[in-house]
Chains A and B, each alone.
Chain A
Amino acid sequence: MSYDPIDIALILGKIGLVFFVILTLAAYLVFAERKVLAWIQDRKGPNRVGPFGLLQPLADLVKLLTKEDFRPVGADKWLFYLAPAMAAIPAIMIFSVIPFGAPLTLFSHTIPLQVADLNVGLLLFLALSSIAVYGVALGGWASNSKYALLGSIRGLAQLISYELSMGLSLVPVVMLARSFRLSDIVAAQSGCWFIVYQPLAFLIFLISIAAECKRIPFDLPEAEGELVAGFHTEYSGMRFGLFFVGEYINIIVLGGLAATFFLGGWHGPLLPPVVWFSGKVLAFAFLFIWVRGTLPRLRYDQLMHFGWKVLTPLALVNILATGWFLVLKG
């Protein structure tokens, strides 16, 4: 199998573009979160750095970079340094399989707006999101701190539990699209979005990704009230920043996936496909922020109860119902 140098250049270009856009977006998502939360709480939010506070993410970055890099006594050095990267990198890698726009045709070259159009894209996503669990687990374990350890144990159990319902909620999508390839799934929704056929699966997926992002109301691994800062208690400076930015990359990526699986990906009338896709992703991000500003944190037993006794059985029933429907339909 040989590659055209132009193809390689294009792929590298797309990777660069994705990296740039996602990191910038993640940084501004932090800013947006602070702003929206402030509005919800009748405050003004950050407005001192630059016009309307727009340079705030830059200031935050400078602050994080210049802070002391601190390692607790007795911490496992390599794992401690590795964990933040393990949390952030898989999140951004998932984006490689997401089609973020209709294929472009330039000079007879068809360029799919997707870094890699794998035929097992969905499985890759599941695999990578499982790897992200390690960031949390190792970060907490390597810190040599009881709060961090408790946070990481909670995180481990929570992520594994909700990964199950997340995976099961995607099975009907695959059954409808008859492919694991994400571009095929998007193509299958050119007529009607899957959310119409699968509202229950969408709901389960939405709840599950909220849990996967460790966002309120599922932020038990962090749980400031009881665990200081959970699994990243002992981190400072840019290592803490990686955990932090990883969370926001996760929001973008999982929002993108939700759009791809249930809201027709880049499909939409009138506006260009990339705009539709970005709009959907940002709508999900806003939803996450809004939920954070509204809901309280679950209790741990409620979280586990909900995952195992409600979401997973519902997802299974949904698969059976979908299969029955497809068989009847022929």
Chain B
Amino acid sequence: MQILKDIYALLIGMWTTWKHIFRRPVTIQYPEEKRQPYPRYRARIVLTRDPEGGERCVACQLCSAACPVDCITMQPAEGEGGRRYAAWFRINFSRCIFCGLCAEACPTLAIQMTPDYELCTRDIMDLLYEKEDLLINGCGKDPVYNFYHHAGIAVTQPRGSGGEELSPVDVRGLMP
């Protein structure tokens, strides 16, 4: 009979909720207890340095282009030896949605996500992070990569002496 089946279904539901009353809650008591996020958790963004200690960020603006909420702004500039760097670099964390597209877009592994999720402040202006707030003294998740060693331009080494490069061509040479 349909009605008996329906009543049985109701009772199953009641029994399920009844069991859950005595389960341990999954909620934790947040500020007192804290969860340890996984290393790949996407929270506060940092700018890392290469193994030689130089800024990895070359201000290519791919992160700001990838950002779906337009929270990244920067001004590229030319530094010593033709090194491209960010004169200023701003992330507006009050807009950031921590989607990680910026870190994915970064060709130099400069911008990386950390598991530090506790960003709240009383003043929203404090959530405007400038380069000095973002830049860390470390390589982040990749301890060896240095973009300029592979880029094919002379910034950290003379022309033609980077990885995968031949020494410069002598254009006046007559050899075939």
Please name the residue on chain A nearest to B23 by beta carbon.
A42
Q: Choose among B16, B17, B26 the residue that contacts A43 (Cβ–Cβ < 8 A).
A: B26
Q: How many residues of B contact A (CB 8 A)?
A: 15
Instruction: Please indicate the chain A residues that have their CB under 8 angstroms from the CB of B36 in the complex.
Output: none
Q: B25, A291: Cβ atoms under 8 Å?
A: no
A288-329 CB contacts (< 8 Å) to partner B: 290-291, 293-295
Cα A227 to Cα B23 in complex, Å, equals 33
For residue B10, CB closer than 8 A to chain A, the reply is yes
Given A290-B14, A294-B13, A40 and B20 contact (CB-CB distance below 8 Å): yes
Q: Choose among B13, B18, B24, B29 the residue that contacts A295 (Cβ–Cβ < 8 A).
A: B13
Given A294-B14, A295-B10, A44 and B20 contact (CB-CB distance below 8 Å): no
Instruction: Please indicate the chain A residues that have their CB under 8 angstroms from the CB of B26 in the complex.
Output: 42-43
Chain A 27-55 interface mask (CB, 8 Å, partner B; 1/0): 00000000010111111100100000000
Q: B17, A293: Cβ atoms under 8 Å?
A: yes
Cα A270 to Cα B14 in complex, Å, equals 30
Q: A42, B14: Cβ atoms under 8 Å?
A: no
Cα A291 to Cα B20 in complex, Å, equals 13
Given A39-B25, A44-B25, A290 and B20 contact (CB-CB distance below 8 Å): no
How many A-B residue pairs have C-beta atoms within 8 angstroms? Tell me.
35
Q: How many residues of A contact B (CB 8 A)?
A: 14
For residue B27, CB closer than 8 A to chain A, the reply is yes
Q: A44, B17: Cβ atoms under 8 Å?
A: no
Q: Closest Cβ of chain B: how far from A288's Cβ, in Å?
A: 12
Please name the residue on chain B nearest to A293 by beta carbon.
B17
Please name the residue on chain B nearest to A295 by beta carbon.
B13
Q: Closest Cβ of chain B: how far from A303's Cβ, in Å?
A: 15
Q: A44, B27: Cβ atoms under 8 Å?
A: yes
Cα A40 to Cα B19 in complex, Å, equals 8
B1-34 CB contacts (< 8 Å) to partner A: 10, 13-14, 16-18, 20-27, 29
Q: B25, A40: Cβ atoms under 8 Å?
A: no
Instruction: Please indicate the chain A residues that have their CB under 8 angstroms from the CB of B18 in the complex.
Output: 290
Q: A36, B25: Cβ atoms under 8 Å?
A: no
Cα A44 to Cα B32 in complex, Å, equals 14
Please name the residue on chain A nearest to B13 by beta carbon.
A294
Q: A44, B13: Cβ atoms under 8 Å?
A: no
Cα A36 to Cα B14 in complex, Å, equals 13
- Give the B-binding residues of A (Cβ under 8 A): 36, 38-44, 47, 290-291, 293-295
Q: List 16 A-B contacts (CB under 8 A).
A: A36-B21, A39-B21, A40-B17, A41-B20, A42-B20, A42-B23, A42-B24, A42-B26, A44-B27, A47-B29, A290-B14, A290-B17, A290-B18, A293-B17, A294-B13, A294-B14
